[in-house]
């Protein structure tokens, strides 16, 4: 169908069938390559919806007061050695992990997908990893931790090294020219998306989320706890972005979805769970008040099975595991609270219309 526009002496003919063909060529991978970044018409509505949700959750680390945390950190008697160690492990692990995730989003996944709305949400995802990395910098400088100790942790604590290598391996595999029409290469990408979204952000982040937020529930490290709550809320969206991406990739490329590949993914999750449990044992070498090692280990089994099921894969455990930390999900539900921060979020959202508003007042 052609539509003609007559503007002055000029005539423009727009061909709608070409536009329809362009839409049909929108795909997760091997779609139409274009530099025009034309989002419309949307094919992956979920990507745009998640982009908007993520944007509405915007936060900045320096808006969170750290006074109480600093006071507790300096007070010899306020905290046990285990509690201090959990904070160090949290800062040490996440300082590396947030950067690794952001780097993989930018240099692997966002590079290889072709539909603009997928690139849009992945751009926001990468930016949120920058905010998370920045929040760790803010925690480190507030508590006065030597920045070199942080780098040392991801080189010298073997369970941190193990978790990091598990993900960087699959990221490196994709940093070369790949022919994505081959099933084996499509599987590499699908596995990368599964590992980062479901195994790492979806499972291996949750041991420390649980421990740090357990401390927060006991009024220890309120500032750090608040930042981790916002991070957890962001991560839940990242897990959804990668889960949808994974499902659509599989949907459009049925050749990769073999029994063998499904089993490979389940085994990969089992490895992730193993690494996380060893890491949790390092974070919590002795039981402390309100922190039960068994609960955190069980929680990892519980959450890993939820992630597998979310991707259409069979769980690892035969029996149904009960969630030992039901309060953790509530921690994410920040909207219920009327705290100082909600006002800030509203301000971020309104910022774009500020100029207009002040003009109106004058």
Residues marked active site are found at: 138
Asked if residue 266 lies in contact with residue 49, where contact means CB atoms within 8 angstroms, the answer is no
Q: 188 to 227, contacts with Fe ion by CB under 5 A?
A: none
Of residues 130 and 218, the one with the C-beta less far from Fe ion: 130
Of residues 83 and 235, the one with the C-beta less far from Fe ion: 235
Q: What are the structure tokens assigned to 144, written together?
A: 């006065």
Is 238 an interacting residue with respect to Mn ion (CB under 5 A)?
Answer: yes
Interface stretch with Mn ion, choices 14-22, 53-61, 68-76, 233-241 (CB under 5 A)? 233-241
Three-state DSSP class for residue 79: coil
Interface stretch with Fe ion, choices 82-90, 96-104, 210-218, 266-274 (CB under 5 A)? 96-104
Q: 102 to 161, contacts with Fe ion by CB under 5 A?
A: 129, 132
Cα–Cα distance measured from residue 13 to residue 203, given in angstroms and rounded to the nearest whole number: 53
Closest C-alpha to 269, from 316, 232, 334: 316
Pattern 82-121, Mn ion, x by CB under 5 A: -------------------x--------------------
Instruction: Tally Cβ neighbours within 10 Å of residue 208.
Output: 24
DSSP character at residue 286 = S
Helices 222-252 and 67-74 pack at an angle, to 10 degrees, of 110
Please state the closest distance from residue 129 (CB atom) to Mn ion, in A. Answer: 5
Kindly tell me which residue out of 98, 117, 248, 276 binds Fe ion, with binding defined by CB under 5 A: 98
Residue 200 binds what, of Mn ion, Fe ion, none (CB under 5 to 8 Å, by partner type)? Answer: none
Of residues 201 and 248, the one with the C-beta less far from Mn ion: 201
Please state the closest distance from residue 239 (CB atom) to Fe ion, in A. Answer: 10
Cα–Cα distance measured from residue 301 to residue 288, given in angstroms and rounded to the nearest whole number: 21
For 60, half-sphere exposure in the C-beta direction (CA atoms, 13 angstrom radius) is 8
What distance lies between CA 75 and its chain's CA centroid? 34
Host H or E run for residue 343: helix 340-350
Cα–Cα distance measured from residue 356 to residue 155, given in angstroms and rounded to the nearest whole number: 51
Of residues 129 and 305, the one with the C-beta less far from Mn ion: 129
Please state the closest distance from residue 51 (CB atom) to Mn ion, in A. Answer: 14
Residue 98 binds what, of Fe ion, Mn ion, none (CB under 5 to 8 Å, by partner type)? Answer: Fe ion
Interface stretch with Mn ion, choices 42-50, 53-61, 198-206, 315-323 (CB under 5 A)? 198-206
Please state the closest distance from residue 197 (CB atom) to Mn ion, in A. Answer: 9
Of residues 69 and 129, the one with the C-beta less far from Fe ion: 129
Three-state DSSP class for residue 4: strand
Is 124 an interacting residue with respect to Mn ion (CB under 5 A)?
Answer: no
User: How many secondary structure helices (H) and strands (E) does the chain include?
Assistant: 16, 2
Of residues 43 and 132, the one with the C-beta less far from Fe ion: 132
Instruction: Tally Cβ neighbours within 10 Å of residue 116.
Output: 22
DSSP character at residue 42 = P
Interface stretch with Fe ion, choices 71-79, 95-103, 157-165, 279-287 (CB under 5 A)? 95-103
Q: What are the structure tokens assigned to 262, written together?
A: 């499904």
Please state the closest distance from residue 268 (CB atom) to Mn ion, in A. Answer: 18
Cα–Cα distance measured from residue 211 to residue 235, given in angstroms and rounded to the nearest whole number: 16
Q: What are the structure tokens assigned to 68, written together?
A: 């109480």
- The footprint of Mn ion (CB under 5 A) covers 101, 201, 235, 238
- The footprint of Fe ion (CB under 5 A) covers 98, 129, 132
């Amino acid at each position: 169908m052609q539509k003609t526009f007559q503007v002055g002496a000029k005539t423009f003919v727009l061909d709608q069938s070409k536009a329809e063909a362009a839409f049909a060529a929108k795909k997760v991978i091997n779609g139409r390559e274009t530099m025009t970044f034309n989002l419309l018409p949307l094919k992956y509505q979920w990507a745009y919806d998640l982009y908007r949700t993520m944007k509405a959750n915007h936060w900045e680390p320096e808006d969170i007061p750290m006074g109480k945390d600093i006071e507790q950190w300096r007070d010899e008697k306020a905290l046990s050695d285990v509690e201090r160690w959990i904070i160090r492990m949290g800062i040490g692990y996440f300082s590396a992990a947030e950067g690794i995730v952001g780097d993989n989003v930018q240099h692997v996944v966002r590079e290889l997908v072709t539909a603009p709305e997928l690139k849009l949400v992945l751009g926001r995802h990468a930016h949120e990893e920058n905010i998370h990395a920045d929040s760790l910098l803010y925690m480190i400088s507030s508590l006065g931790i030597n920045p070199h100790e942080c780098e040392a942790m991801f080189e010298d604590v073997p369970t941190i090294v193990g978790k990091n290598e598990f993900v960087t391996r699959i990221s490196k595999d994709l940093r070369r020219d790949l022919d994505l029409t081959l099933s084996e290469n499509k599987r590499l990408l699908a596995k990368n998306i599964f590992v980062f979204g479901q195994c790492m952000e979806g499972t291996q982040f949750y041991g420390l989320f649980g421990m740090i937020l357990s401390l927060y529930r006991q009024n220890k490290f309120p500032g750090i706890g608040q930042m981790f709550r916002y991070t957890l809320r962001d991560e839940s969206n990242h897990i959804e972005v990668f889960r949808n991406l994974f499902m659509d990739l599989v949907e459009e490329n049925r050749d990769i979805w073999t029994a063998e590949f499904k089993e490979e993914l389940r085994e990969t999750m089992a490895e992730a769970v193993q690494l996380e449990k060893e890491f949790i044992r390092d974070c919590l070498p002795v039981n402390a008040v309100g922190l039960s090692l068994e609960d955190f280990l069980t929680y990892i089994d519980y959450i890993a099975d939820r992630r597998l099921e979310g991707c259409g894969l069979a769980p690892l455990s035969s029996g149904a595991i009960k969630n030992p930390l039901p309060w953790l999900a509530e921690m994410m539900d920040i909207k219920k609270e009327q705290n100082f921060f909600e006002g800030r979020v509203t301000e971020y959202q309104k910022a774009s219309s500020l100029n207009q508003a002040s003009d109106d007042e004058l």
